[in-house]
């Protein structure tokens, strides 16, 4: 109140402070209000705490009902999501079977399909454990090999989840595990190089896969020198075919591996179809029987924008190397004519027969003539063994 109005101040005003030209007052009522306001925040916090605790306690009484409801909603949400994608993307109901036959007609990769601007090209699969155990899939870079491998694995997983699958027809066998060896990774901090990581994973697969498993092998053996890589990939394929009998999709750039199909009726060669048009490569992304006739690696590299000079020089070098590759293929072919892994084990057993015959021999009890005859016979067997 300014000094000129001080005489109008009522008696219940209590003086608080004197300023140069005015006096400040408060009243009992204002004081009470101030106290109320100051303590209100504290009260809000404690009241809120009490309310939340009460609410929590009353919710706790319904724990069982709430958990049951949550589970129900969870399942409903999942089935709803399955139904929505299945309808939106035209998935079909797979038949789950126990007859070990994997049959997919017009399979698609659900994620790649969704992200593509152009239409996704569907592909079929027909694998089992008696007739066709393995597909060896060749084809240029970018032709769709990895996509195909993954789409088959995803369709099998989706069917096991209870979802419809991106295909027009599917028979999915009950599968115990899906093993995948895909991509290049390393862990130098744990002392594992790229190739070592590849081999560790491959070893894990060879040890644990069964005839009810699905194997997705994307370029096994590519992490090392060509001959070693082919040899490892080849031996793994033989082991799967002879010992594990797991349905296997094997993508590779080593065309030499397609030779396995010549000696093993359980293997089919497939390749991703491409066409050449005015010197350019056109990816048709269709899986067809047979082996890819060219690798087109330099064509694909050219598409990436590598300097023209590098591409031209690469073509020159490739020409020289192709001659050497033809020689390698010839060597592999002649190797095929020799024994495969398992026949070799049998051969070893037959050479043991000679040892058996010798150890069971009573040397002091036979005549010189009998000894000479036996020596001729053993020599004949050894010659036979070395000759095969």
Among 103, 132, 134, 145, binds ligand ATP (CB under 6 A): 145
Given ligand ATP, Mg ion, none, residue 296, with its beta carbon under 5 to 8 Å by kind, binds none
Q: Which residue is nearest to ligand ATP (CB)?
A: 144
Kindly list the distances between the CA atom of residue 121 and the CA atoms of 143, 144, 155, 252, in Å, as whole numbers in the listed order.
Answer: 11, 10, 15, 20
Is 147 an interacting residue with respect to ligand ATP (CB under 6 A)? yes
With both helix axes pointing from N to C terminus, report the angle between 194-208 and 226-239 in degrees, rounded to the nearest 10: 10
Given ligand ATP, Mg ion, none, residue 285, with its beta carbon under 5 to 8 Å by kind, binds ligand ATP
- Smallest distance, Å, CB 282 to ligand ATP? 12
Given ligand ATP, Mg ion, none, residue 139, with its beta carbon under 5 to 8 Å by kind, binds ligand ATP
User: Which tokens hold the place of 84?
Assistant: 């929505």
- CA pair distance 331, 325, nearest whole angstrom: 10
Mapped onto helix, strand or coil, the DSSP state of residue 172 is strand
Positions in the binding site for Mg ion (CB under 5 A) = 146
Q: Tell me if 140 sits within 8 A of 292, measured CB to CB.
A: yes
Among 273, 285, 292, 299, binds ligand ATP (CB under 6 A): 285
Is 288 an interacting residue with respect to ligand ATP (CB under 6 A)? no
146 or 202: whose CB is closer to ligand ATP? 146
Query: In DSSP terms, which residues pair with 289 in a beta bridge?
Result: 270
Stretch of residues binding ligand ATP (CB under 6 A), selected from 3-11, 19-27, 113-121, 223-231: 113-121
Is 202 an interacting residue with respect to ligand ATP (CB under 6 A)? no
Q: What is the DSSP letter of 253?
A: S
- Smallest distance, Å, CB 293 to ligand ATP? 15
Given Mg ion, ligand ATP, none, residue 129, with its beta carbon under 5 to 8 Å by kind, binds none
- Smallest distance, Å, CB 150 to Mg ion? 9
Is 222 an interacting residue with respect to ligand ATP (CB under 6 A)? no
Helix ranges restricted to H, 165-307: 194-208, 226-239, 260-263, 297-303
Is 112 an interacting residue with respect to ligand ATP (CB under 6 A)? yes
5 or 294: whose CB is closer to ligand ATP? 294
**How many Cα atoms within 13 Å fall on the side-chain side of residue 75?**
6
Beta pairing class for 14-18 and 95-97 = unpaired
Q: Tell me if 126 sits within 8 A of 84, measured CB to CB.
A: no
52 or 116: whose CB is closer to ligand ATP? 116
- Smallest distance, Å, CB 89 to ligand ATP? 14
Is 146 an interacting residue with respect to ligand ATP (CB under 6 A)? yes
Distance of CA 221 to the CA centre of its chain: 16
129 or 151: whose CB is closer to Mg ion? 151
Stretch of residues binding ligand ATP (CB under 6 A), selected from 3-11, 60-68, 138-146, 233-241: 138-146
Residues of the chain by 3-state class (helix, strand, coil), percent to 5 = 55, 20, 25
Give every strand in the sheet of 280-289, ordered side by side. 178-181, 214-218, 247-251, 134-138, 267-277, 280-289
- CA pair distance 89, 67, nearest whole angstrom: 33
Given ligand ATP, Mg ion, none, residue 141, with its beta carbon under 5 to 8 Å by kind, binds ligand ATP
146 or 295: whose CB is closer to Mg ion? 146
Mapped onto helix, strand or coil, the DSSP state of residue 316 is helix
- Smallest distance, Å, CB 375 to ligand ATP? 58
Among 103, 133, 134, 142, binds ligand ATP (CB under 6 A): 142
Q: Tell me if 209 sits within 8 A of 177, measured CB to CB.
A: yes
- Smallest distance, Å, CB 323 to ligand ATP? 24
Is 143 an interacting residue with respect to ligand ATP (CB under 6 A)? yes
Is 182 an interacting residue with respect to ligand ATP (CB under 6 A)? no
- CA pair distance 166, 156, nearest whole angstrom: 10
User: Which tokens hold the place of 115?
Assistant: 């992200």
Q: Tell me if 82 sits within 8 A of 162, measured CB to CB.
A: yes
Is 144 an interacting residue with respect to ligand ATP (CB under 6 A)? yes
Stretch of residues binding ligand ATP (CB under 6 A), selected from 20-28, 60-68, 139-147, 338-346: 139-147
Which residues are at the interface with ligand ATP (CB under 6 A)?
A: 112, 116, 120-121, 139, 141-147, 285
């Amino acid at each position: 109140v300014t000094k000129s109005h001080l005489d109008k101040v009522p008696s219940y005003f209590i003086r608080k402070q004197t300023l140069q030209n005015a006096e400040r007052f408060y009243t009992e009522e204002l004081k009470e209000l101030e106290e109320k306001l100051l303590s209100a925040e504290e009260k809000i916090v404690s009241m809120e705490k009490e309310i939340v605790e009460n609410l929590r306690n009353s919710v706790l009484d319904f724990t069982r009902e709430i958990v049951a409801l949550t589970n129900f909603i969870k399942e409903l949400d999942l089935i709803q999501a399955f139904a929505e994608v299945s309808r939106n993307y035209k998935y079909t109901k797979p038949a789950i079977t126990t007859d070990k036959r994997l049959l997919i007609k017009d399979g698609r990769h659900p994620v790649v399909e969704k992200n593509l601007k152009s239409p996704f090209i569907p592909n079929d699969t027909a694998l089992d454990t008696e007739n066709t155990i393995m597909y060896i899939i060749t084809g240029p870079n970018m032709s769709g090999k990895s996509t195909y491998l993954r789409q088959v694995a995803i369709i099998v997983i989706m069917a096991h989840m209870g979802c419809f699958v991106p295909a027009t027809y599917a028979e999915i066998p009950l599968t115990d595990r899906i093993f995948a060896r895909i991509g290049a990774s390393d862990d130098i901090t744990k002392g594992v190089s790229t190739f070592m990581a590849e081999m560790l994973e491959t070893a894990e697969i060879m040890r644990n896969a069964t005839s009810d498993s699905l194997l997705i092998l994307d370029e096994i053996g590519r992490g090392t020198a060509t001959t070693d890589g082919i040899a490892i990939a080849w031996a793994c394929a033989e082991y799967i075919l002879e010992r594990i009998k797991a349905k296997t999709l094997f993508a590779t750039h080593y065309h030499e591996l397609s030779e396995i199909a010549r000696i093993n009726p359980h293997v089919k060669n497939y390749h991703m179809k491409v066409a050449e048009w005015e010197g350019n490569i056109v990816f048709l992304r269709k899986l067809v029987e047979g082996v890819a006739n060219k690798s087109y690696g330099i064509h694909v590299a050219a598409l990436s924008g590598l300097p023209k000079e590098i591409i031209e020089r690469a073509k020159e070098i490739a020409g020289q190397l192709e001659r050497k590759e033809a020689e390698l293929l010839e060597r592999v072919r002649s190797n095929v004519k020799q024994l495969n892994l398992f026949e070799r084990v049998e051969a070893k057993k037959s050479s043991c027969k000679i040892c058996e015959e010798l150890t069971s021999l009573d040397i002091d009890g036979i005549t010189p003539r009998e000894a000479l005859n036996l020596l001729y016979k053993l020599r004949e067997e050894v010659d036979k063994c070395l000759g095969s």
